[in-house]
């Protein structure tokens, strides 16, 4: 069942335009919107919430056209980066505020608050004031306040941006739990690709006021619609020519390197292929897998916390790979070192032409 649908939604704010936004979200689905700063992500969710008036298009929520409804009548809740709790109220009162129009019976309200406080791990904080809580705790309260009214749609605008990595990881777990328990429909704006991998069913990539690509996470992240998306999701793009068909497999010549690719495209075609950095295997000894295995040189190593980004080159091809720090150490990788690269045929995606 469809919960929300945006149809050709267009908004003008000063110089900025949100153009022809189309997006459909099923009930219970978790959608992340990701894009660079200034893409229009906040304007888009503020428009869904009712704070900006579109000059074109419609917003359909649970079958109703809510395009001109005032924000408080939409049945939509929103969580911001900076918590926005009421400082003079306790945690309990803050959460109760979110339910004030929906739950009138005091006993039921109490039960509901206890239930959600339990799920969000804030039961022990109910009598405290927001200023005595950590950022992560405050955001858990803000989420509890936003969903106690059982909104048809929960919007979150960079909810983890003010939090450190450890706290963010913990919060993702709470959000995942509450999304399941309450069967929430969520649109979550983020600039962190980890949110998309770990939380979302679908992802929309935004740039310059438009949605460039929308679909299942796995699909978008393995088949970017254009170079902007490819760059943004950090995938390798190569161009090559099919030289041989071997049943379900073809051999693709990229420069002087032969890759095996699973596809039903036929010989002679120039094709574009995508390979995710985490799908590139590296070893010091030849794995003897035939085509799809080749030698390359480590051009650059970028340390990035527990993961390391490697730039591998072979003649005119440069490939980005991601390895754990431990694995890089174990292989003794360093700039200039020769390694063997292996890419499984099923991990090479062919762009539709």
Ligand X SMILES: Nc1ncnc2c1ncn2[C@@H]1O[C@H](COP(=O)(O)OP(=O)(O)O)[C@@H](O)[C@H]1O
Q: How far is the CB of 41 from ligand X (least distance, A)?
A: 3
Q: How far is the CB of 275 from ligand X (least distance, A)?
A: 29
38 binds, among Mg ion, ligand X, none (CB under 5 to 8 A by kind): ligand X
**In terms of CB distance, is 232 or 281 closer to ligand X?**
232
Q: Which two tokens stand for residue 230?
A: 């490819």
Contact positions toward ligand X, by CB under 6 A? 13-14, 16, 35, 37-43
Q: How far is CA 254 from CA 27, 275, 292, 293, in A?
A: 43, 13, 11, 13
**In terms of CB distance, is 160 or 294 closer to Mg ion?**
160
Q: Which two tokens stand for residue 21?
A: 């936004």
Q: Beta partners for 311? A: 300, 320
C-beta of residue 249 within 8 angstroms of C-beta of residue 260: yes
Q: By CB under 5 A, which span of 35-43, 128-136, 255-263, 279-287 interacts with Mg ion? A: 35-43
Q: By CB under 5 A, which span of 37-45, 133-141, 253-261, 293-301 interacts with Mg ion? A: 37-45
Q: How far is the CB of 209 from ligand X (least distance, A)?
A: 7
DSSP string, 190-249: ES-HHHHHHH-SEEEEEETTEEEEEEEHHHHHHS-SSHHHHHHTT-EEEEEEEEEEETTE
**In terms of CB distance, is 34 or 96 closer to Mg ion?**
34
Neighbouring C-beta atoms of residue 89, cutoff 10 Å: 15
x/- map, 256-295, Mg ion, by CB under 5 A = ----------------------------------------
One of 22, 42, 67, 309 touching Mg ion (CB under 5 A):
42
**In terms of CB distance, is 39 or 153 closer to ligand X?**
39
Q: Which residues contact 202 (CB under 8 A, 6 or more apart)?
A: 25, 29, 30, 31, 32, 214, 215, 216, 217
Q: How far is the CB of 232 from Mg ion (least distance, A)?
A: 16
Residues contacting Mg ion: total by CB under 5 A: 2
For CA atoms 178, 183, 189, 193, the dihedral sign is positive
**In terms of CB distance, is 35 or 292 closer to Mg ion?**
35
Pairing of strands 257-262, 307-314: unpaired
Task: Summarize as ranges the residues that interact with Mg ion (CB under 5 A).
Answer: 41-42
């Amino acid at each position: 069942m469809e919960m929300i649908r945006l149809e050709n939604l267009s908004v003008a704010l000063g110089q900025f335009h949100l153009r022809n936004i189309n997006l459909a979200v099923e009930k219970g689905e978790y959608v992340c919107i990701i894009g660079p700063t200034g893409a229009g992500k906040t304007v888009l969710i503020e428009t869904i919430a009712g704070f900006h008036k579109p000059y074109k298009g419609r917003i359909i929520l649970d079958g109703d056209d809510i395009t001109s409804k005032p924000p408080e009548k939409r049945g939509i809740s929103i969580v911001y980066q900076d918590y926005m709790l009421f400082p003079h109220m306790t945690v309990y009162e803050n959460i109760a505020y979110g339910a004030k129009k929906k739950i009138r019976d005091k006993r039921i309200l109490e039960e509901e608050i206890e239930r959600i406080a339990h799920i969000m791990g804030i039961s022990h904080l109910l009598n405290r004031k927001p200023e005595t809580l950590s950022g992560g705790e405050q955001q858990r309260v803000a989420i509890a306040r936003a969903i106690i009214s059982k909104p048809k749609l929960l919007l979150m605008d960079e909810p983890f941006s003010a939090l450190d990595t450890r706290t963010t990881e913990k919060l993702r777990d709470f959000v995942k739990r509450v999304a399941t328990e309450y069967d929430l429909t969520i649109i979550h704006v983020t600039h962190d690709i980890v949110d998309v991998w770990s939380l979302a069913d679908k992802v929309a990539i935004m740039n310059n006021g438009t949605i460039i690509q929308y679909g299942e996470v796995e699909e978008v992240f393995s088949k970017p619609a254009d170079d902007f998306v490819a760059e943004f999701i950090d995938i390798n793009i190569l161009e090559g020519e099919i030289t041989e068909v071997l049943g379900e497999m073809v051999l693709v010549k990229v420069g002087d390197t032969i890759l095996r690719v699973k596809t039903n495209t036929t010989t002679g075609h120039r094709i574009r292929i995508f390979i995710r950095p985490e799908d590139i295997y590296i070893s010091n000894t030849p794995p003897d897998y035939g085509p799809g295995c080749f030698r390359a040189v480590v051009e650059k190593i970028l340390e990035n916390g527990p993961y390391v980004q490697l730039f591998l080159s072979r003649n005119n091809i440069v490939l980005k790979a991601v390895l754990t720090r431990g694995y890089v150490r174990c292989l003794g990788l360093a700039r200039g070192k020769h390694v063997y690269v292996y890419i499984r045929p099923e991990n090479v995606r062919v762009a539709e032409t």
